[in-house]
């Protein structure tokens, strides 16, 4: 074929290719917002975001004076905040309440979210960047209205100021300082988190507090505010569903759970509470599917722990024991598996082994309330074995 004819043929092919219709990537339709029965609740004002992190003016000035003196001495900003918290807040005591920064100073304590909020408040004043580590501890079964709640623990990482890097030099992990005055040995790392996750968790904690006090309007306002920061968080969706159920709107709760299930915004905790609702409604097929899904989707030690508790309740002691032994192998520092294994030994009539397992649970817990419960059970077994 002459060169000219070959070029013409090639040009024709290229034109044909350009003229052929191109398949455009399809954009999935936007996910609809979570259903929420707004008519069930009256609007209530909630604390605004800025007020959560605002320090009293006098405290801001005292901190800035401390901070600037040490910056001039060549100290790193993240270390200065750590030292300030250590020096000034040695009387900061653990309380089970979620407080704003000002409230934490006023009451001299708070929970881990309160401490994270207070740390973030000082970081704002100093202009220090932050990140968070989200930790989880064992789910707690609330006897009131059969509600299963989980406890999230936040560790704050104050990031070191960014430095001028040499050419071709890459920093994989930005250095910083971890703030965690309430270290819990019975907690596991779940995920990294950012500022918006902390704000969402602050409102979520207060939403749960209001819900358990039957202040449903306030709880609704707080959970809606929390979801404005983390709309896809399964735990926030779960709280919304539990709120509807406790407020008497079982259909609304079911619709929320169906939304989460349909869009794969589920967690082990959400599915567990969905199962509670399914059993209340005697939806046998749904309950069976959820039980199977809870087993198949288990990932964390606490997921397997919950499955073991469910097996114990059904009398499936061998299955529960197998699950718990695996949890102990993976996370020997957690107290809950030993406590559940002690239950199994007790049910099997082996009081000596049950007592020994309770001693291990007591040894491994850092939570005073858990220690009190474990110790009471141990004392009971001790008296039984001495008879």
The stretch 347-360 carries a mean pLDDT of 95
Asked whether residue 22 is domain-assigned, the answer is no
Buried b (16+ CB within 10 A) or exposed e, 34-57: bebbeeebeeeebeebeebbbbee
Residue-level pLDDT at 151: 66
Last residue of a domain, one of 265, 297, 329: 297
Lowest mean pLDDT among 25-34, 40-49, 212-221, 370-379: 25-34
Asked whether residue 187 is domain-assigned, the answer is no
Percent of the chain scoring above 70 in pLDDT = 83
Percent of the chain scoring above 90 in pLDDT = 66
Lowest mean pLDDT among 10-24, 32-46, 124-138, 297-311: 10-24
Domain of 248 in residue numbering reads as 197-297
Last residue of a domain, one of 281, 297, 313: 297
Shared-domain flag, residues 293 and 303: no
Q: How many CB atoms lie within 10 A of CB 348?
A: 12
Last residue of a domain, one of 273, 297, 321: 297
CB-based contacts of 338-347 (< 8 A; 24+ apart in sequence): 338/364, 339/374, 339/377, 340/305, 340/308, 340/309, 340/312, 342/377, 343/312, 344/312, 344/317, 344/320, 346/381, 347/312, 347/317
Residue-level pLDDT at 165: 53
Residue 338 is given by DSSP the state H
Asked whether residue 307 is domain-assigned, the answer is yes
Task: Note the pLDDT tens digit of each residue in 148-166.
Answer: 666 677 889 999 987 655 5
Strands (E), 55-208: 93-94, 109-110, 130-142, 147-159, 176-179, 188-193
Instruction: Please tell me the distance from the alpha carbon of residue 240 to that of residue 237, in angstroms, as a whole number.
Output: 5
Shared-domain flag, residues 342 and 374: yes
Rounded mean pLDDT of the chain? 87
């Amino acid at each position: 074929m002459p060169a000219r004819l070959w070029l013409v043929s090639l040009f024709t092919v290229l034109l044909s290719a350009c003229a052929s219709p191109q398949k455009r990537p399809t954009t999935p339709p936007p996910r609809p917002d979570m259903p929420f029965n707004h008519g069930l609740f009256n609007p209530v004002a909630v604390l605004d975001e800025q007020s959560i992190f605002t320090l009293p003016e006098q405290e801001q000035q005292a901190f800035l004076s401390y901070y600037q003196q040490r910056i001039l001495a060549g100290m790193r900003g993240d270390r200065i905040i750590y030292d300030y918290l250590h020096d000034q807040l040695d009387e900061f005591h653990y309380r089970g309440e979620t407080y704003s920064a000002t409230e934490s100073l006023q009451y001299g304590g708070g929970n881990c979210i309160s401490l994270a909020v207070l740390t973030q408040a000082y970081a704002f004043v100093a202009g220090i960047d932050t990140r968070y580590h989200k930790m989880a501890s064992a789910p707690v079964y609330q006897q009131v209205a059969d509600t299963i709640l989980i406890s999230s623990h936040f560790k704050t990482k104050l990031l070191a100021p960014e430095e001028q890097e040499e050419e071709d030099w890459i920093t994989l992990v930005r250095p910083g300082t971890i703030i965690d005055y309430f270290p819990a040995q019975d907690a596991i790392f779940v995920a990294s988190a950012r500022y918006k996750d902390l704000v969402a968790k602050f409102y979520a904690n207060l939403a749960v507090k209001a819900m358990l006090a039957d202040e449903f309007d306030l709880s609704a306002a707080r959970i809606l505010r929390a979801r404005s920061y983390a709309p896809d968080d399964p735990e926030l969706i779960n709280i919304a569903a539990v709120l509807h159920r406790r407020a008497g709107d079982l259909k609304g709760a079911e619709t929320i759970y169906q939304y989460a299930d349909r869009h794969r915004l589920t967690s082990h905790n959400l599915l567990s509470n969905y199962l509670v609702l399914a059993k209340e409604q005697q939806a046998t097929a749904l309950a069976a599917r959820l039980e199977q899904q809870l087993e198949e989707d288990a990932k964390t030690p606490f997921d397997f722990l919950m499955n073991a508790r469910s097996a114990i309740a059904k009398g499936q002691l061998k299955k529960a024991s197998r699950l718990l032994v695996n949890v102990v192998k993976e996370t020997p520092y957690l107290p809950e598996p030993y406590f559940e294994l002690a239950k199994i030994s007790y049910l099997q009539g082996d009081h000596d082994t049950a007592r020994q397992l309770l001693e291990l649970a007591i040894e491994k817990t850092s939570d005073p309330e858990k220690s009190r419960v474990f110790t009471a059970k141990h004392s009971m077994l001790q008296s039984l074995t001495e008879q």
